[in-house]
Amino acid sequence: MRIHRAPLRYASAGGTPRSSQPRWRRRVLACTAVLTLAGALSFPARAATPPSGEISDASPAASWSAGPFAVPNTTGAAGSPVCDAPQACDDYTLDVKVPSGYDADHNVRIDITWPNSAADFDLYVLDAKTGDEISAAASSSDPETVILPAVSRTYTVRVVPYAPLGESFTGKASLVSIPADPPPSTATPPTYGNSSAPDSIDDAHNAGEPSIGVDRKTGAAMFQAYTSTLKVTYDAAGNGTWQDKSAKTANGCPQGSSTSLDPILFTDPRTNRTFESQLAGKTALTCFTDDDGESWTPTAGSGINSGVDHQTIGGGPFSPNGPGALTSYPNAVYYCSQDIADASCAASRDGGLTYGPAVPMYSLLDCGGLHGHVKVAPDGTAYVPNKGCGGNQAVAVSGDNGQSWDLRRNPGSTPGDSDPSVGIGAGGTVYMGYQNSDGTARIAVSHDRGRTWVDDQRIGGSLGIRNTVFPVVTAGDDNRAAFAFLGTTTGGNYQDTENFHGQWHLYVATTYDGGVSWVTVDATPDDPVQKGSICTGGTTCGDDRNLLDFNDITLDDHGRVLVAYADGCTGSCASGGAQNYDALATISRQSTGATLYGAYDAADGRAVKEGARK
């Protein structure tokens, strides 16, 4: 189950998800408190002042305000907001007048802000002539931000008082320069081979939101798709063999592979223990295996008072600044999840058998977006990234084994649609990959545990990539990392099921110089992952939510990159036919090129080829 508000950049199409899993996201408010406050307030709503404005290359900024607002308009939680009540929405007409080609190095940025961060306003941008929704920012962030190409056009900027608490808002539209991308890396691009699950495997075609880990002792990749745990082994030529190793009563896990609101898998690269977890409300049905799925051990599942949604499991060394191991298992295990008003993490000190109480990482007053997967650094620092904290994306950081958490924002980012991801190098360097509010893929680097960020840059600009979803990041040596995402060279609203016709591919960017420069490759050049729109808006979506909400990435013992994804365009679609909305379990595995471990660089151009395993 994915609970969240309306999508951050778009209007989602009506309908229900193609997957049979009951997945949906919508932020749930304490409605009684909001309505009680609304009834106690009697401020009259006011129209935008002024009601219209213009920005141009000669006059690049315009502002307006409106309010105060007393009555909530929560209709946007189910899709596009309804504005048929008096002053339920506020509209401002924005004219953009710029020379042809101005969008090559400029964007239109629209922000709305309000004084009390406990309140919540949502931002929608419509075509003024047709009323079609072009973009939206409908999280709990303050400010809400939309970024658009700088082209001449007239917009209706609609602000919806989702939970106004008697507040007014201020809007600003401005033309902003697009920062120049640094030169791409001159490193030899790696290449990738793709392997998919055979039809004989349960959930082979129900693999939305896959997760992946690698047992570095045996080389087996462990892949989770809904209630199925799959083991993939590779021969010397890089061909994958898929086997079903799902957790069941027969192999020691009676709670596994039966029901799920969300699946997640994690393999600890140090201990090679794999955890398979199925969400079950405020708890989880979790087992682990130490022999690649031949046998499974049941666990308590999660911490007391864990959240109802968006669970993630991760682990790594204990920090010396907090309580350590209770058993011989050397690493901490974290179960993090999202609840109605906050998100929390519970830590296990006995190898994942039991967990302490869930400790809040942040509340809705701090972050309205959903969090990504928990990652643990070699020094024991734990990180959980979030896509919408105020006007930025951020990481929640714990340096004491989950006893307390600190929220650290990336000031160069704006809230996005997809969960961000972090990868952590051997020396503690943090790489955060994210989808910016303009849809582009960006990555930033921190050398001080997320307190400051450097080398924040767009990825894939040289390939013409204009829209992205599902960023995932991993790292090996401290100066080496990989950043994978689904991308398309087609611009515009990729949520528009009727009018968006782009083709999506899996891209992987790699840095060998600590994030200063990146080399980006198309890992699926001859086989689109999806054609047309991709919706991540929960049950308000139509068939185009077949891929659900995220992908995953990991490394093997030689530092080869493996990306788990659901292939949404198979069969005749892959050979030129129409989109078929599949979700085929697939792994893209690095086959040549320098890996993320320099110890395996070859002398003849640093190429690691198949057959190099010990």
In the three-class reduction of DSSP (H, G, I as helix; E, B as strand; rest coil), residue 104 is classed as: helix
Residue 434 and residue 451 in one domain = yes
Instruction: Count CB neighbours of 241 within 10 A.
Output: 12
pLDDT score of 349: 98
For 389-421, letters b (16+ CB in 10 Å) and e give: bbbbbbbbbbbbbbeebebbbbebbbbbbbbbb
pLDDT score of 341: 84
DSSP secondary-structure letter at 130? T
Residue 487 lies in a domain: yes
pLDDT score of 86: 62
Residue 61 and residue 196 in one domain = no
Host domain of residue 497? 181-204+416-603
The structure tokens listed for 363 are 């509340």
pLDDT score of 530: 98
Domain count, the chain: 2
Residue 473 lies in a domain: yes
DSSP secondary-structure letter at 129? T
Give 450-457 contacts, CB < 8 A, sequence gap 24+: 450/383, 450/394, 450/395, 450/397, 450/408, 450/410, 451/408, 453/410, 453/411, 453/412, 454/515, 455/182, 455/514, 455/515, 455/516, 456/410, 456/412, 456/413, 457/179, 457/181, 457/182, 457/518
Residue 518 and residue 566 in one domain = yes
179, with CB counted inside 10 A (0-12, 13-18, 19+), is: exposed
Of 139, 161, 177, the position where a domain reaches its end is 177
Q: Report CA 480 to chain centroid distance, whole Å.
A: 21
pLDDT means per 10 residues in the chain (614 residues)?
A: 35 26 30 35 60 96 94 81 80 96 90 91 92 81 86 95 94 92 91 97 95 98 95 96 96 85 94 95 92 97 88 97 97 94 95 97 84 97 93 95 97 91 98 94 98 96 94 98 97 86 97 98 97 84 92 98 98 96 98 97 55 39
Residue 81 and residue 196 in one domain = no
Q: How far apart are CA 247 and CA 229, in angstroms?
A: 7
CATH number assigned to the domain comprising residue 101: 2.60.120.380
Residue 437 lies in a domain: yes
Which residue is associated with the tokens 């995953």? 552
Instruction: Count CB neighbours of 71 within 10 A.
Output: 18
Residue 95 and residue 187 in one domain = no
Give 231-238 contacts, CB < 8 A, sequence gap 24+: 231/292, 231/293, 232/195, 232/587, 234/195, 234/589, 234/610, 236/610, 236/611, 237/610, 237/611, 238/193, 238/589, 238/591, 238/610
